[in-house]
């Protein structure tokens, strides 16, 4: 599923209206009807539409008209005097007014006043205040309205994007409406797919309102199994272990992390998993151990390498050698955990090239960028894209709705995973999965994307088996076969 920025959506709107001669008010009426249908599914006794002064407000006015036609009690609260509305927003208001929609002008406290004496559990608020237009912090009056709406205890259905969420980045501009549902027009906006915007959008429903769009111009999408159907999972009877590549895992000071990465790589289809470094623990019989030699010797015949899980001391030399191996075209690889420190040595990020996948969590990403982890979480798209641009690598920024970004600004958002993944060693499992996919020939962007999808699905399955509270990283490894089975079912 494609995701769009506010600027891309404006271009599609403009092209539909100007080149295809579809009047804007027709598109708005389609949008209003889509919102009304979603609101009426909740069987409310009272609906209050909060309408802004622009196109989002126009959608709200027209939604109110469609709701009124079904005999439901509906009131429109306009944040400006309707006499000051212009263009299509004015037309939408006039259509709603002629249809008998009750309305009044919003003043601070007006919403709370209207909600007195009604059952808030049977009331729906329509957030049609700003939509995709917000790009700066909300002014005090809008902040007060947003907070009134959030305090209402009524179900909120947002039009396109909850007010206060940046449609392009997911950033919250001071505060934002927290909706239970969002009705997105033509495409879901990138800002509701990623956090923190996703936390405010609730369930997102995409409505076809008649927009003509050239999806080849889009650079962001959700990760889905269909993206990789021709690259992973279909095996020939004549294949052998060499067909699926060798994946090298370097073992450092904390060997348990490398063990998890090696086990997950083996479960994810690598033809052979090779563990190098100072190996001083029992490893599964499924892996090959090459101890006592350097990275270049241990992994001389590997197609991919994983550096970082449990690496500890001596990371700089190991990572530097691995980067040189990739620069020569010999391998692709994953740099995780302690390995990431070497990428940002001395506070200056190295350009390591597109044969690498970096897998930082927010604190690690912040360390590399010179940000706090809170800043990374508030600006996740920006953080991932900047880190990819500055290193030349694929960046997988961990967290809810994991973001995978390329140096060219292409973005994938992973929809799988839950709190089951919030356990030590989960990231080591992810690194091993991606390493295995690289060994099987997927390019780094695809390997990171599919790896995140499989890892998230395995986490969900482990949580179902053991509960989210009790899931361990080793449980996620053991659920990888079921995750791969779910992927194969999805592409069959």
Residue indicated by tokens 């508030």: 378
- For 440-448, what is the mean pLDDT? 98
Band of residue 240 on the pLDDT scale cut at 50, 70, 90: very high
pLDDT score of 70: 95
Band of residue 85 on the pLDDT scale cut at 50, 70, 90: very high
Evaluate whether 210 touches 27 at the Cβ level (below 8 Å). yes
Residue 319 has pLDDT above 80, yes or no: yes
pLDDT score of 344: 85
Domains (ranges, CATH) in the chain?
2-218 (3.40.50.10260), 225-491 (3.40.1190.20)
Contacts of 406 (CB under 8 A, 6+ apart): 354, 388, 394, 445
Lowest mean pLDDT among 6-20, 149-163, 310-324, 375-389: 310-324
Task: Tell how far CA 437 is from the center of its chain.
Answer: 21
Summarised one tens digit per residue, pLDDT across range 252-293 is 888 999 999 999 999 999 999 999 998 877 888 889 999 989
CA-wise closest residue to 251 among 152, 337, 186: 337
CA distance 139 to 347: 37
Evaluate whether 334 touches 361 at the Cβ level (below 8 Å). no
Evaluate whether 135 touches 164 at the Cβ level (below 8 Å). no
Task: Report the predicted TM-score, pTM, of the whole model to 2 decimal places.
Answer: 0.95
Structure tokens at 296: 């270049």
CA distance 145 to 174: 13
User: CA of 60: how far to CAs of 160, 193, 237, in Å?
Assistant: 11, 22, 58
- Asked whether the bond before 89 is cis by omega within 30 degrees of 0, the reply is no
Residue 43 has pLDDT above 90, yes or no: yes
Structure tokens at 424: 């030590």
DSSP letter at 291? E
CA distance 190 to 173: 15
CA distance 288 to 298: 10
Evaluate whether 228 touches 443 at the Cβ level (below 8 Å). no
Residue 313 has pLDDT above 80, yes or no: no
Coil, helix or strand for 451?
helix
Band of residue 234 on the pLDDT scale cut at 50, 70, 90: confident
pLDDT score of 314: 67
Apex 343 CA angle, 457 and 275, nearest 5: 60
Summarised one tens digit per residue, pLDDT across range 290-304 is 998 999 999 999 999
Percent of the chain whose pLDDT exceeds 70: 99
Evaluate whether 179 touches 12 at the Cβ level (below 8 Å). no
């Amino acid at each position: 599923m494609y995701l769009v920025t506010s600027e891309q959506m404006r271009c599609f709107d403009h092209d539909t209206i100007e080149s295809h001669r579809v009047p804007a008010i027709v598109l708005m009426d389609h949008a209003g009807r889509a919102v009304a249908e979603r609101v009426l599914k909740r069987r409310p006794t009272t609906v209050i539409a909060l309408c802004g002064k622009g196109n989002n407000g126009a959608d709200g006015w027209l939604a109110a008209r469609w709701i009124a036609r079904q005999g439901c009690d509906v009131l429109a609260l306009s944040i400006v005097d309707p006499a000051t509305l212009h263009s299509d927003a004015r037309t939408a208001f006039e259509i709603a007014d002629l249809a008998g929609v009750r309305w009044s002008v919003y003043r601070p406290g007006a919403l709370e006043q209207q909600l007195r004496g009604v059952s808030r559990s049977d009331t729906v608020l329509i957030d049609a205040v700003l939509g995709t237009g917000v790009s700066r912090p909300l002014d005090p009056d809008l902040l007060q309205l947003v907070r009134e709406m959030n305090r209402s205890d009524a179900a909120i259905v947002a039009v396109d994007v909850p007010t206060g969420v940046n449609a392009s980045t997911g950033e919250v501009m001071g505060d934002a409406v927290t909706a239970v549902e969002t009705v997105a027009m033509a495409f879901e906006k990138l800002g509701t797919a990623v956090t923190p915007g996703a936390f405010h959008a609730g369930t997102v429903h995409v409505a076809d309102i008649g927009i003509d769009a050239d999806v080849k111009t889009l650079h962001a999408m959700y990760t889905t199994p269909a993206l990789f159907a021709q690259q992973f999972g279909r095996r020939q009877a004549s294949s052998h272990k060499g067909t699926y590549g060798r994946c090298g895992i370097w073992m450092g000071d904390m060997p348990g992390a490398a063990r998890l990465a090696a086990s997950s790589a083996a479960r994810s289809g690598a033809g052979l998993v090779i563990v190098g470094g100072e190996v001083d623990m029992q490893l599964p019989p499924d892996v090959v151990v090459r101890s006592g030699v350097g990275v270049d010797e241990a992994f001389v015949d590997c197609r991919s390498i994983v550096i970082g899980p449990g690496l500890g001391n001596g990371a700089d030399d190991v990572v530097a050698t691995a980067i040189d191996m990739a620069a020569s075209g010999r391998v692709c690889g994953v740099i995780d955990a302690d390995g990431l420190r070497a990428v940002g040595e001395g506070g200056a990020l190295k350009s390591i090239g597109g044969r690498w996948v970096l897998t930082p969590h927010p604190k690690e990403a912040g360390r590399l960028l010179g940000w706090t982890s809170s800043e990374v979480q508030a600006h996740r798209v920006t953080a991932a894209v900047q880190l990819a641009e500055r290193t030349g690598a694929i960046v997988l920024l961990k967290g809810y709705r994991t973001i995978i970004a390329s140096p060219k600004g292409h973005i994938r958002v992973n929809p799988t995973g839950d709190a089951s993944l919030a356990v030590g060693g989960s990231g080591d499992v992810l690194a091993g999965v991606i390493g295995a996919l690289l060994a099987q020939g997927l390019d780094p962007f695809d390997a990171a994307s599919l790896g995140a999808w499989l890892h998230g699905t395995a986490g969900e399955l482990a949580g179902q088996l053991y509960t989210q509270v009790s899931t361990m990283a080793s449980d996620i490894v053991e659920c990888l076969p079921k995750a791969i089975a779910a992927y194969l079912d999805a592409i069959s």
